[in-house]
Structure 1
Amino acid sequence: MDPTPVLSVDGVTKRYGENVVLDGITFSLAAGERTALLGENGAGKSTLAKIIAGSTRPDDGGIAVDGRGVRFTVPRDALAAGVSFIPQELVYVPALTVAENISLGAPPSRFGFTSPSAMIRAARKYADIAGFDLPLDTPMADISLAQRQLVEIAKAVTRQARILILDEPTAALESEDSARLHELLGRLSASGVAVILISHRLEEVFATCDTVHVLRNGALVRSSRTADLTPSQAIADMLGHEQSSTAKVDRCPSDAPPRLEVRGLRRTQAPILDDVDLVVREGEIVGLYGLRGSGADTLAETLGGLHPDAVGRIAVAGATMNRLRNPRQSWRAGIAYVPADRKSQGLVLIDSIRRNFTLPDLRRVSRAGWILRRRERAVAQNLYTRVRVRARSIDQTVGELSGGNQQKVLVGNRLLADAPVLVLHEPSRGVDVGAREEIHDILRGLADGGTAQLVVTSDIEEAVLLCDRLLIVHRGRIVDDIAFPTRADQARALEAAGGIQ
């Protein structure tokens, strides 16, 4: 193998005003190597990826590809050098087919005309090279998120990428889809493609990556082979201290009144719900874990009012109904639903923290149809303090915040209702370890105050760390109930979720 690194990063520094985002980052990457960039939100990972991919210019330092110094001014320069970047928020044209999206930027043409059949043949060729099947004539809007990730990788293959950078590629994927994605990355790595993975899922990093680079506050604090490092050491490097260990306490007495009761809930349209029963008591945090398509996500969305075709008995603080027809009915019934996709379902990214906090219930801050600015600021400031958002002020635009702080804003605006029941759908998706700890601490505080919480998560570690009870869903049914789960129960939970009894 050629000893010359396929990528060298030498002293890369980036400043925004007086804020040093990257401080002299230096590392190298060999052909076929898979490395991970670890760090909290705001540590500089995405900025470093954007510099390597040509969308951001460094203030100092440089980059070399195959030993030759390069200066990328636009992403096209990086693409020409064999560098392809797949961001966390995928970029695609929903109305175009899979084949058309794969061919964007380089469509097969003859005399200036593009043939749909030629486009499909070319797309199939590149999908075959990458080793996966895709519905090439299907619009992107009609395929799954996991398939969209594969389309992005196929696009990188069409560009003959030799360095592939992926930002949180599995943050929104279930474990089965994540495994398939990593299997594909392994094949690309074996063919000589160097892979840079930005991820908060440490179990994936340590199972799939050769090396790890840890960033903290813009500085590179560790470069190591994964075999020479433990996840606990990596977390300590990311945080600058040892990860806290919060012992579980029995915060929910056995005679605590039920706040959420679900009986015989059924939905015949896939993903189905098959006679679901559950109870969440005052001050209790109940986890719901299941694989993609198990019905766990569907149950969360049903309680949020998104599946009016689901019918059963739903009681909230004693008030009973047979279905939730829309999100407004869910909200008014006393369920505060935190959706899984904060950017498209939960927040207005171009608006301020203040407005995002108060939008769910403007009646709290208005009179006769007019917003009372002083009251609005007071309510927003109170929520800002309760959920510990880190920002310049409540007037900062939400889109400027890190993922962890955006998630805190989302949780905060659901607290406006003072609802007895909080349903959280993937509450720490795409946030770093430190932000996850802070969000969990906030949720524990709410439980101590009596709020009943149902936490629907695809992160089994989150489920066992946070929850007082853990319910496992398989094929629309709750198949196991684990009281006070610990890490020792992870295998049991995974087996039950997979249908192994």
Structure 2
Amino acid sequence: MMIVDHAGVTLNNLTKSYGSQKVLHEVSFSLNPGQITGLLGENGAGKSTLAKILAGATTPDTGSILIGNKHVSLQTPRESLAHGISFIPQELIYVPRLTVAENICLGRWPRKGFVTSPTQMKTFAESEVTRLGFDLPLQSEMNSLSFAQQQTVEIVKALSRDSKLIILDEPTAALNNDESAQLLSIMGNMALSGASILYISHRLDEVFSICTALQVLRNGSLVFSGDASLTDPAEVISHILGRAEVQLEGRRGNAISQKAVLKIENWSRQQYPSLDAVSLEVHEGEIVGLYGLAGSGAEVVAQTLGGLIPDVVGMTFIDQAAVTTPRSPRHSRLAGIGYVPADRKLQGLVPTLSVRNSLSLLIMRRLAKWGVINAKAELANANGMATDTQLRARSIEQTVGELSGGNQQKVLMASRIAQKPRVLVLQEPTRGVDVGARVELHKLLRKLADSGTGQLVVTSDIEEAVQICDRLLIFREGRVTREFRDLNSETQSAALHAAGGM
């Protein structure tokens, strides 16, 4: 890729407040040409706000931005693009009914005279997808794609511009290992061509593998700035948290009850991702991990238990009593299953609802008398759940959409815990969640296990699975292929090999 201008980008004393809440406080650092800078911090630390300022989506209250030695004003996304800044946000921005090719060329459709040229558009999109090493159905509508494919389209759209600065906010959150490796390789090549890259991620392994400089935000302030090669993950985590990281371990062996709260037998499904005679069980107070690569079928198990996939056949038992395999979310809840979906925004939460309403949404009957919600009981429930989950919000009347990702996840999990389920099924429980919130959510899951709640954790994060689970099941090609009971530091490598068929 040809970079027109290799001038770096400098941030000087950027400050931003929303009402009385200061989200950025005099943040200053430079983004140098040919350098990949990792921006780290807990959810709510100010990372996304900083990215939005650079992208022209919001403006700072005070401070300045320089490209080279020239002060620039980034009042709109269009102005930001004109200055050579591309932004790949965590919340995807696309037109659902347009094709992949049309979305890649959005805002710059090629024309013949005054008429858009579909042929030129397809040719350009095809060349960019090929150049970047991805595989996308160019003529398919965006709303027919998986989330990972939609994110890949946004990546191609941003990287196909000749940019001085490229900002990526959690770009690998929904990508599989191969896709993530491909993106990291592309980032390295773009840095070699002279671009500045700002990489926002919670995945420390990726950050340390690709970044040359690190910036850490905490509570809106820059608390660490340094060379990635001169520090280590433990030091970075201490800066992110303001304290040493807490290591958690699941209970092992004899401490687990032998009473099965969930048992599935011979689950099968013909449609892709398929299931092939899957059987497993979760005991009272046990955390069982289900790990598999994209398309393995592990996600189908979680979604079926959540009532989202109705075409699975086989037997299901809750507390050793046979129940009909859930055919709807309501059926799932009535069976005693609490389901935490992977996509909290589309399947788990209503962004415009308050925290209080969100925490009572699934238990209204319990809180109502003669069809009227008992406001006092609803308030007590919300305050209690907020305390138990260490929720950080201005008040329980704040809308969920205003919260950071980690706190949204706490609301999602708390709303399911409020159901008092016999078994909790969690799909990617800490995806896109910062280190501090991740530790707190892990503590919450362990506390639930200690109280007797069985949990099935379906995750693509093998480190997380080994850290919190009592047992780990490997899922491959629609079935359980291996089980690990004594989880230790060597399990991670063995599990990765098993999931890949090695």
Q: Could you tell me the TM-score, scaled by structure 1's length?
A: 0.95
Task: Tell me how far apart the structure 2 counterparts of residues 93 and 354 of structure 1 sit (CA, whole Å).
Answer: 32
How many pairs were matched up? Answer: 500
* Selected match of 2:451 from 444, 449, 452: 449
- Partner SS, residue 487 of structure 1: coil
Return the alpha-carbon distance in structure 1 between the equivalents of residues 333 and 149 of structure 2: 33
CA contact (8 A) 2:13 2:27 kept: yes
Name the CA distance, whole Å, in 2 between partners of 1:149 and 1:185.
15
**Corresponding residue SS for 1:169:** coil
CA distance in 2, matches of 1:195, 1:374: 50
**Which deviates the most, 124-133 or 279-288?**
124-133
Instruction: Single out whichever of 453-462 and 152-161 deviates more from structure 2.
Output: 152-161
Residue equivalent to 1:53: 55
Compute the displacement of 1:179 (Å).
1.6
Cα distance change on mapping 1:425 and 1:252 into 2, 3 Å: farther
The alpha-carbon deviation at position 18 of structure 1 amounts to 4.2
Whether 1:228 aligns to 2:230 is yes
Residue pair 1:5, 1:28 contacting (<8 A) in 2 also: no
Structure 2 CA distance for aligned equivalents of residues 184 and 16 of structure 1: 36
Contact 1:54 1:72 (8 Å CA) reproduced: yes
Post-superposition offset of 1:253: 3.2
Q: Which moved more, 1:237-246 or 1:130-139?
A: 130-139
1:102 aligns to what?
A: 104
> Match for residue 311 of structure 1?
313
How far residue 447 of structure 1 moved from its aligned partner, in angstroms, is 0.6
Residue 427 of structure 1 corresponds to: 429
- Which among 119, 122, 128 is matched to residue 117 of structure 1? 119
1:1-400 paired onto structure 2 within 5 Å: 5-250=7-252, 253=255, 255-321=257-323, 323-400=325-402
Distance change >3 Å, CA 142–CA 44, structure 1 → 2: same
- How many percent identity over aligned positions? 50
Deviations 1:39-62 (CA, angstroms, capped at 9, x unpaired) = 011111111111111222222221
Cα deviation, 1:216-238, whole Å, max 9, x if unaligned, reads: 12221222222211111110110
Is the 8 Å Cα contact of residues 355 and 397 (structure 2) preserved in structure 1?
Answer: yes
Cα 1:116–1:255 shift into 2, 3 Å: closer
Unaligned runs of 5+ in 2: none
TM-align CA RMSD: 2.0
- Aligned in 2, Cα 1:484/1:353: closer, same or farther, shift over 3 Å? farther
CA distance in 2, matches of 1:126, 1:256: 55
- Runs of 4 or more consecutive aligned structure 1 residues displaced over 4 Å after TM superposition: 1-5
SS at match of 2:255: coil
Counterpart residue type for residue 270 of structure 1: Y
CA distance in 2, matches of 1:420, 1:146: 32
CA deviation after TM superposition for structure 1 residue 128, in Å: 4.1
Distance, in Å, in 2 between the alignment partners of 1:4 and 1:78 is 16
* Higher mean displacement: 426-435 or 486-495: 486-495
Deviation of 1:475 after TM superposition, in Å, equals 0.8
Contact 1:471 1:482 in 2 (8 A): yes
Rounded Cα–Cα distance in structure 1 between residues aligned with 2:459 and 2:5: 43
Between 1:403-412 and 1:149-158, the stretch displaced more is 149-158
**Post-superposition shift, 1:383?**
2.1
On the 8 A contact 1:32/1:190 being kept in 2, the answer is yes
Q: CA separation in 2, counterparts of 1:312 and 1:133? A: 35
Distance 1:3 1:303, change over 3 A: closer
Which of 401, 404, 416 in structure 1 is aligned with 2:403? 401
Larger mean CA deviation between 119-128 and 355-364 belongs to 119-128
Q: C-alpha displacement at 1:16, in angstroms?
A: 3.2
Structure 2 CA distance for aligned equivalents of residues 64 and 322 of structure 1? 62
In structure 1, how many angstroms separate the alpha carbons of the residues matched to 2:265 and 2:45?
45
SS of 2:304's equivalent in the other structure is helix
Q: Is the 8 A contact 1:366 1:372 kept in 2?
A: yes
Alpha carbons 2:39, 2:217 under 8 Å: kept:
yes
Q: CA separation in 1, counterparts of 2:487 and 2:38? A: 30
Q: 1:119 aligns to what SS in structure 2?
A: helix
CA contact (8 A) 1:260 1:316 kept: yes
Confirm or deny: 8 A CA contact 1:251 1:284 kept in the other structure.
no
Tell me the amino acid that sits aligned with residue 428 of structure 1: T
Q: Counterpart of 2:41 in structure 1: which amino acid?
A: G
Amino acid at match of 1:332: L
* Whole-angstrom CA distance in 2 between matches of 1:265 and 1:129: 41
Is the partner of 2:235 in helix, strand or coil? Answer: helix
Report the AA paired with residue 91 of structure 2: E
After TM superposition, the structure 1 stretch with the greater mean CA deviation from structure 2, 360-369 or 198-207, is 360-369
Q: Which moved more, 1:31-40 or 1:385-394?
A: 385-394
